[in-house]
Chain A
């Protein structure tokens, strides 16, 4: 209870996990909305479909914005020592995000959500593109910031012991950032696709908005299959190879691997037993981990035995399960979309009730997979806040007491619970109302303005 770092970590983890439920849909949907608006340039039906998703996007974006602001500030409030130490480097990308991404997004959001009657169809399409560019740019700056914490490059240590920027292009083109960004962004498209497919399946099962159900399903299963395959290969594979190379202790912990050796097996199922330093009840496939990590079946893959215990990730069980949940769900998501695409190709998706049921209920799983994925990244980085340079325990604010942080954590929990209920209520209303033509009110509003 009295360890302040634990509460700082829990508060940051809770607020970031909650926050990221929203931007992942924002970013994934932004791409799909661009596709819908592009199809809508020539066809009203697609334009109506886009309008529906833009309304969902607007509500989702609002919650993403308000829960995002605390993230920026918690670097200073909760991780002051880290901010002082690394601000000269990571401040660059955090400030660039505000200047290059947030201003762009905030300026065009109103035009996208409420400005359709004010813009030409092409103009509205460009507003959608602006939101896509802004939100994906924002994603890069944040991933790049995180990549520096995972795999610091482009820095030097100054005379005062703090980090400073030595090579800007090395820092912003960090190979870790490029791989993690690709992996993360295709994952957002998976989330967006599953959400769109769930609404499409819901309408198809209800036999309402049938034409729109068909449109939602067609776009989402194709995008969903493509993106969910890309999440695994090449992006997930590339990310895993970087972990193997630069964070070998994390890889060992992710796989519950306590002993080093060649022909390393990949673990499908098993329970890491940290006290006994072994994996209980394992089901494994030999040599696959060596191949996936280093490209040959004979490669030696380090186990935790090669690393001092004080550099082991501090919650190996949670890390192990997070990684396996992510990888397992990722596989299931590919399978789901593959079957759905097959049915769509045969023209029977909208009449296949079992598949529609699966699609309607599957949408939480990409959220769980991305959350587990980020938990893998963040728990795997422990015990470091900047890998190999600063420990997490040394990064917390020195003057904030554990009781204060516990209090504010509880405050965030309560506030976010209310926010979640309101969000679901509003989204539910939008879904039950469904897509429709450009609202008559909005059109008359236009007349008033011009008149």
Chain B
């Protein structure tokens, strides 16, 4: 049951990254790929119907951690307190800019919201990537399983560590590039005209950088978390995930080159999913890694609630999860085809 819930949490997190990833990526590229008001509304029309539902996956992932691994959620969120609050503020600004921007037909009003939307969408992937970097590198847990971190110390990734060091900054940059490539592929698929052209080009550039950085970052992980890479040979699920990620990367490259953008976007989804799944499979069962070898990490086993509670939760999760998937399928079907910029004060 514990393994199952670890899997569920990983699946939900991957769904969040893949889904909100495309609207975050579109936001990060907003000012680059869309210059005129009409083009910007094309971008917003492409993500407008989805962004809120996509963000719910983040809440649902938090909910799954809450119900199954409350100690991990409690230590993680309080330990990264200020970074998490910063994420919340960015999420607020971003959501509001999508929803409020087109209500007023004034160039200055709209330009201001476009800027806020792009800035928040740029900051969030960096923050999320750095957060993942922190989890891989480890945090200074005490014997009760709590920790707190300075924003930065000496950037060496050796104790005493801070939230930002060379490794976590690298993870943040890597996440931004991957998310930008993902958002670019999505926009290439859902828009037409100049926005599509620019998005495709930026997606190619971003993914080229990802193809270089990914192996590099993986090798460098050796210096902050050697056990993770050592676990790889014994984890068949991780091989499969890596194969999926590599295949996804190839599909992205081919798809973008041949202007088969829908295919490229699917490849991008496969890359992100594979990469996250491989990571989750390699670090299992560790969820919150202790950087001090003398202190226990928080693992799926030592931080899960009793099996009976997990079973209860599974009975409703197995009903709710397919429902959520169905809503998304219906939503994508209803909005199939290219996104069209709305006019006046209506629409996104």
Q: Is A400 a contact partner of B96 (Cβ separation < 8 A)?
A: no
Across the interface, name the chain B residue whose C-beta is closest to A104: B327
Q: Does B331 contact A (CB under 8 A)?
A: yes
Known contacts: A99-B63, A99-B320, A404-B82. The answer to whether A70 contacts B92 by CB under 8 A is yes
Q: Is B146 a contact partner of A80 (Cβ separation < 8 A)?
A: yes
Across the interface, name the chain B residue whose C-beta is closest to A426: B103
Q: Is B71 a contact partner of A70 (Cβ separation < 8 A)?
A: no
Q: Is A69 a contact partner of B74 (Cβ separation < 8 A)?
A: no
Q: Is B104 a contact partner of A429 (Cβ separation < 8 A)?
A: yes
Q: Is A77 a contact partner of B52 (Cβ separation < 8 A)?
A: no
Q: Does A309 contact B (CB under 8 A)?
A: no
Across the interface, name the chain A residue whose C-beta is closest to B303: A84
Across the interface, name the chain A residue whose C-beta is closest to B103: A426
- Contact indicator per residue, chain B 253-288, by CB within 8 Å of chain A (1) or not (0): 000000000000000000000000000000000000
- Centre residue among A80, A92, A444 by max chain B CB count within 10 A: A80
Q: How far is the CA of A404 from the CA of B327 in the complex (A)?
A: 40
- Contact indicator per residue, chain B 271-312, by CB within 8 Å of chain A (1) or not (0): 000000000000000000000000000000000011011001
Distance to closest chain A CB from B81 (angstroms): 5
Distance to closest chain A CB from B297 (angstroms): 16
| Residues in A neighbouring B166, C-beta threshold 8 A | none
Q: Does B247 contact A (CB under 8 A)?
A: no
- Contact indicator per residue, chain A 64-86, by CB within 8 Å of chain B (1) or not (0): 01110110110111101101101
**Chain B facing A: main interface SS:** helix
Distance to closest chain A CB from B148 (angstroms): 4
Q: How far is the CA of A409 from the CA of B148 in the complex (A)?
A: 19
Distance to closest chain B CB from A395 (angstroms): 10
- Other-chain residue from A87, A110, A165, A168 in contact with B49 (beta carbon distance below 8 A): A110
Known contacts: A80-B78, A106-B52, A400-B148. The answer to whether A91 contacts B68 by CB under 8 A is yes
Q: How far is the CA of A431 from the CA of B73 in the complex (A)?
A: 43
Q: Is A411 a contact partner of B89 (Cβ separation < 8 A)?
A: yes
Distance to closest chain A CB from B134 (angstroms): 15
Q: Is B53 a contact partner of A94 (Cβ separation < 8 A)?
A: no
- B58-103 CB contacts (< 8 Å) to partner A: 58-60, 62-64, 66-68, 70-71, 73-79, 81-82, 84-85, 88-89, 91-93, 95-96, 99-100, 103
Across the interface, name the chain B residue whose C-beta is closest to A75: B66
Distance to closest chain A CB from B288 (angstroms): 12
Q: Does A164 contact B (CB under 8 A)?
A: yes
Q: Is B74 a contact partner of A76 (Cβ separation < 8 A)?
A: yes
Q: Is A107 a contact partner of B331 (Cβ separation < 8 A)?
A: yes
Q: Is B316 a contact partner of A96 (Cβ separation < 8 A)?
A: yes
Q: Does A276 contact B (CB under 8 A)?
A: no
Q: Is A83 a contact partner of B92 (Cβ separation < 8 A)?
A: no
| Residues in B neighbouring A164, C-beta threshold 8 A | 305-306, 308-309
Across the interface, name the chain A residue whose C-beta is closest to B148: A399
Q: How far is the CA of A449 from the CA of B192 in the complex (A)?
A: 13
Known contacts: A164-B309, A165-B308. The answer to whether A99 contacts B60 by CB under 8 A is yes
| Residues in B neighbouring A100, C-beta threshold 8 A | 316, 320, 323
Q: Does A1 contact B (CB under 8 A)?
A: no
Q: Is B340 a contact partner of A448 (Cβ separation < 8 A)?
A: yes
- Centre residue among B49, B62, B85, B328 by max chain A CB count within 10 A: B85
Q: Does B152 contact A (CB under 8 A)?
A: no
Distance to closest chain A CB from B24 (angstroms): 14
Q: Is B96 a contact partner of A69 (Cβ separation < 8 A)?
A: no
| Residues in A neighbouring B340, C-beta threshold 8 A | 445, 448-449
Known contacts: A95-B64, A411-B89. The answer to whether A77 contacts B313 by CB under 8 A is no
Q: Is B63 a contact partner of A109 (Cβ separation < 8 A)?
A: no
Q: Is A98 a contact partner of B53 (Cβ separation < 8 A)?
A: no
Distance to closest chain B CB from A373 (angstroms): 26
| Residues in A neighbouring B316, C-beta threshold 8 A | 92, 96, 99-100
Q: Does B334 contact A (CB under 8 A)?
A: yes
| Residues in B neighbouring A106, C-beta threshold 8 A | 52-53, 55-56
Q: How far is the CA of A49 from the CA of B342 in the complex (A)?
A: 23
Q: How far is the CA of A62 from the CA of B317 in the complex (A)?
A: 27
Q: Is A84 a contact partner of B312 (Cβ separation < 8 A)?
A: no
Q: Does A14 contact B (CB under 8 A)?
A: no
**Chain A facing B: main interface SS:** helix
Across the interface, name the chain A residue whose C-beta is closest to B80: A77
Q: Does A342 contact B (CB under 8 A)?
A: no
- A297-315 CB contacts (< 8 Å) to partner B: none
Q: Does B215 contact A (CB under 8 A)?
A: no
Q: Does A173 contact B (CB under 8 A)?
A: no
Q: Does B337 contact A (CB under 8 A)?
A: yes
Distance to closest chain A CB from B6 (angstroms): 15
Distance to closest chain A CB from B190 (angstroms): 13
| Total A-B pairs, Cβ < 8 A | 221
Q: Is B84 a contact partner of A66 (Cβ separation < 8 A)?
A: no
Q: Does A439 contact B (CB under 8 A)?
A: yes
- Contact indicator per residue, chain A 102-126, by CB within 8 Å of chain B (1) or not (0): 1110110111001100100000000
Q: Is B66 a contact partner of A95 (Cβ separation < 8 A)?
A: yes
Q: How far is the CA of A221 from the CA of B147 in the complex (A)?
A: 54
| Residues in A neighbouring B63, C-beta threshold 8 A | 72, 91, 94-99
Q: How far is the CA of A102 from the CA of B64 in the complex (A)?
A: 14
Q: Is B56 a contact partner of A98 (Cβ separation < 8 A)?
A: yes
Distance to closest chain B CB from A86 (angstroms): 8
Q: Is A411 a contact partner of B85 (Cβ separation < 8 A)?
A: yes
Q: Is A103 a contact partner of B75 (Cβ separation < 8 A)?
A: no
Q: Does A59 contact B (CB under 8 A)?
A: yes
Distance to closest chain A CB from B140 (angstroms): 10
Distance to closest chain B CB from A36 (angstroms): 19
Known contacts: A66-B91, A83-B66, A99-B63. The answer to whether A107 contacts B100 by CB under 8 A is no
Q: Is B70 a contact partner of A83 (Cβ separation < 8 A)?
A: yes
Q: Is A103 a contact partner of B78 (Cβ separation < 8 A)?
A: no
Q: How far is the CA of A411 from the CA of B84 in the complex (A)?
A: 13
| Residues in B neighbouring A72, C-beta threshold 8 A | 59, 62-63
Q: Does A235 contact B (CB under 8 A)?
A: no
Q: Is B89 a contact partner of A415 (Cβ separation < 8 A)?
A: yes
| Residues in B neighbouring A95, C-beta threshold 8 A | 60, 63-64, 66-67, 313, 317
- Other-chain residue from A58, A87, A118, A400 in contact with B78 (beta carbon distance below 8 A): A400
Distance to closest chain A CB from B48 (angstroms): 7
| Residues in B neighbouring A66, C-beta threshold 8 A | 91-92, 95-96
Known contacts: A99-B324, A400-B148, A426-B100. The answer to whether A87 contacts B70 by CB under 8 A is yes
Q: How far is the CA of A448 from the CA of B99 in the complex (A)?
A: 23
- A401-420 CB contacts (< 8 Å) to partner B: 404, 408, 411, 415, 419
Which residues from chain B sit less than 8 Å from chain A, CB to CB? 48-49, 52-53, 55-56, 58-60, 62-64, 66-68, 70-71, 73-79, 81-82, 84-85, 88-89, 91-93, 95-96, 99-100, 103-104, 144, 146-148, 305-306, 308-309, 312-313, 316-317, 320-321, 323-324, 327-328, 330-331, 334, 337, 340, 342-344, 346-348
20 contacts between A and B (CB under 8 A): A59-B99, A66-B92, A76-B73, A77-B84, A80-B146, A81-B74, A83-B66, A84-B71, A87-B66, A87-B305, A89-B309, A100-B316, A103-B53, A103-B323, A408-B85, A439-B344, A441-B342, A442-B347, A445-B342, A449-B340
> Which 4 interchain pairs have the tightest Cβ spacing?
A87-B70, A76-B77, A95-B63, A91-B67
Contacts A94-B67, A404-B81 supplied; 4 other A-B pairs, CB < 8 Å: A65-B52, A73-B77, A80-B75, A445-B342
